[in-house]
Amino acid sequence: MEISQRHAEMCAALADLHRLLLLYALADEPQSVTELVQRIGLSQPAVSRHLRIMRESGIVSAERRGKSIYYFVTDQRIVQSMDMLRAILTEQMQEQGSVALGAAQRPVI
């Protein structure tokens, strides 16, 4: 598959608020679906659906630990890229005079 097509697919997989929140929730450590449901506040089927989309795009992977499956970010540069985009957006908001408090910070989940 052409790199531009894969690039577009990865961006499409990240173009959802809930998937961004899941990415940030997984940024520091692997977590199970149950843990993610508690942190994000979505239903288990919704979290599983979002994780499937992210897994198919290569953003997250999963590994079994006993009876649980833990999800983790495949490459921390993905999180760093989202942090960089967040910084760019914050600067744009500052230039437009409409900065929200804490916009530059990762969402607390």
pLDDT at residue 80, as a whole number: 97
Q: Is the dihedral of CA 87, 61, 27, 109 positive or negative?
A: positive
Q: Residues 19-72: pLDDT tens digits? A: 999 999 999 999 999 999 999 999 999 999 999 999 999 999 999 999 999 999
Q: Residues 68-95: pLDDT tens digits? A: 999 999 999 999 999 999 999 888 888 7
Distance from C-alpha of 66 to C-alpha of 34, rounded to nearest angstrom: 14
Work out the pLDDT band at 102, boundaries 50, 70, 90. Answer: low
Residue 107 reports pLDDT greater than 90: no
Domains plus CATH for the chain?
Answer: 3-74 (1.10.10.10)
Question: Roughly what angle, to the nearest 10 degrees, separates helices 3-14 and 17-25?
Answer: 90
Report the pLDDT averaged over residues 7-13: 94
pLDDT at residue 92, as a whole number: 86
